[in-house]
Amino acid sequence: MSDTLSQKLSRFFNSDKFPWLIIFLGSALRLVRYLHNPSLWFDESRNAMGIISRSLSDLVPPAPDQTLSIPLGFYMLEKLAIQILGYGEYALKLFPLFFGIISLFLFYKVSKQYIRPKAVPVALGLFAVLDPLVELSSTLKPYTGDAAIALLLYAVSYAKEKNLNAFRSVLLGALGAAAVLFSHPAVFVLAGIGTTLSMSYLIKKEWSKMKGLSITLLMWGAGFLVVYIIFTKPLLYNFTITNDSIFWMKQKAFMPFPPMSMSDIQWFIDLPLRIFSFPVGMTFTGLAALTFIAGCAAVYSGNRERFFLLISPFILTLLASSLHKFVFSQATILFLVPSIILFIAEGTGYIREKTGNGSNIIGIALVCLIFIHPLAWSTYHAVKPNSREEIKPVLAHIKKNWQEGDVLYVYYMSQFAFEYYSKYHPGDYHFDDSDYVIGQAPQNWYATYKRNEFKGFWDPAKPFYQPFTDVLNGYTMDLNKLRGGKRVWILFSSMVSKEGIHEEKFFIYHLNSIGRQLDFFGHPGVSAVYLYDLS
């Protein structure tokens, strides 16, 4: 009797070919988003300018305005890319794409090591299509590298734990020492792996393995100390005393420990749903939380060592955030997403097994609910990618309609993107220095992003405060300098609101009071340009 369709599908889903089809799909989704090539938005353009404008010798020690999120190794890879391929977005985003694709292969290996075989396709499928993992693979940020390095450490540590001779101990030690150069959160993964394996070997009295692991741990510690002293420590100091820390406090990115109020307790209640929403990318966050808890219980009951290998970096990262040494929010914790997905997949399999009762309906429904939104979003964004600030068409419109004598005023939050596209991008977006002026910014903006231009900030004993009325007066005085110009372009992107006032609307309100609008192009509040007669 011929096989039914369900039997054929079941055999295919359980075959060795199916995971490779998933990896191909995940790679294709990442490549398509990369090829769409949207404009660099604020964070990306800031990173691009930091990479392009500095030589390798300028990176150590780090400059005061270098961002904490970018490790030294990522700077080195980016410098290599632009020296070979030029300053275009494809070159700048090449290594995030590489890490995004290679992490698919690493995740497949790790999932086979850490969870039950029937849960592997679910885990790999989620890792392939979850939108934050796909999007960040074409974003000029180091987070896909963090995830790839975490997976590499998991894969190698698991493979070496059973026979940790001297050669393998040194090899694993060198890999871990190099990891902290290319990924800041790798230290949490290494600390979790080291602590878990040490406790396991000591409890089991496996002294030969403990001896080999000691060599590895010493090398990890030495590598961390070198990178910390020459690069990470100055960045942490800059982060602690600047507005970066204040911004993330408002975003509730630091664990309140010990909790002292109801709002602190609410932080812990909200944490799982925030994480499952982003950076995991699950829409049904309650279902994700349920399967995650079930997965934790299943892995713990099956192999406690694997459970602690996966969960310990999560705990250590939370503790670091409570000390304001690491931002536990959004894409900075992308390196934890592989572990979370493994628990969700294992929990899905566990629930399917316990609720089957001879029927697969509940299991199929559960898998469908988990995949329906991630797959839909990834498919939609493959066709119509989300772009935060599409500034290239706006600059092209200015160039097309530019007349001799025109002046371009660049809103202060737009300056990184403008400088990148005007000075370095190979496209036709160039403006001479005499064509434009960079707008006045609030003092706290200079303290965060252009610290060399605000020397007074560097006395922590004398904190500054700038009243918001002074900020608005600064904007109006800055715009008044443009009076007399017959054709003045006003460029906006990366818009912000302060104390309930949308800055673009405030600018336009004042411009309408001193001049006449001649032209407009773009999307208000996102990326736009206005042409005014201020004569």
Given this model, what pLDDT does residue 157 score? 87
74 Cβ contact partners less than 8 Å away, ≥ 6 residues apart = 95, 142, 145, 182
| Six-digit token string for 382 | 């493959």
Categorize the per-residue pLDDT at 460 as very low, low, confident or very high, splitting at 50, 70 and 90: low
CA triple 70-145-278, angle to 5 deg = 90
Q: Which residue has the tokens 């390798």?
A: 56
Cβ atoms of residues 326 and 317 within 8 Å? yes
Name the residue ranges covered by the structural domains of the chain. 19-383, 392-533
CA-wise closest residue to 494 among 399, 394, 385: 394
Given this model, what pLDDT does residue 11 score? 75
Say how far apart CA 134 and CA 104 lie, in whole Å: 11
Cβ atoms of residues 487 and 401 within 8 Å? no
Other CB atoms within 10 A of residue 254 CB: 21
**Segment 306-315, tens digit of pLDDT:** 999 999 999 9
Categorize the per-residue pLDDT at 240 as very low, low, confident or very high, splitting at 50, 70 and 90: low
Given this model, what pLDDT does residue 462 score? 57
Helix (H) or strand (E) holding 523: strand 516-523
The pTM of this model reads: 0.94
Say how far apart CA 520 and CA 529 lie, in whole Å: 6
CA-wise closest residue to 239 among 122, 299, 312, 321: 321
Given this model, what pLDDT does residue 464 score? 63
Given this model, what pLDDT does residue 3 score? 60
Distances from the Cα of 154 to the Cα of 67, 112, 158, 309, 336, angstroms: 27, 12, 6, 8, 12
Say how far apart CA 223 and CA 141 lie, in whole Å: 23
Mean pLDDT of all residues in 93-112: 98
Cβ atoms of residues 254 and 322 within 8 Å? yes
Given this model, what pLDDT does residue 247 score? 78
**Segment 308-341, tens digit of pLDDT:** 999 999 999 999 999 988 999 999 999 999 999 9
Strand-pairing partners, residue 529, are 491, 521
Given this model, what pLDDT does residue 1 score? 38
Mean pLDDT of all residues in 77-100: 97
Mean pLDDT of all residues in 452-479: 77
Mean pLDDT of all residues in 154-171: 78
Who has greater pLDDT, 157 or 346?
346
Least confidently predicted of 52-61, 170-179, 192-201: 52-61
Torsions phi, psi for 409 (to 5 deg): -100, 125
| Six-digit token string for 428 | 């036709």
Given this model, what pLDDT does residue 168 score? 83
Crossing angle of the two packed helices 207-227 and 166-182, in degrees rounded to 10: 30
Say how far apart CA 199 and CA 218 lie, in whole Å: 16
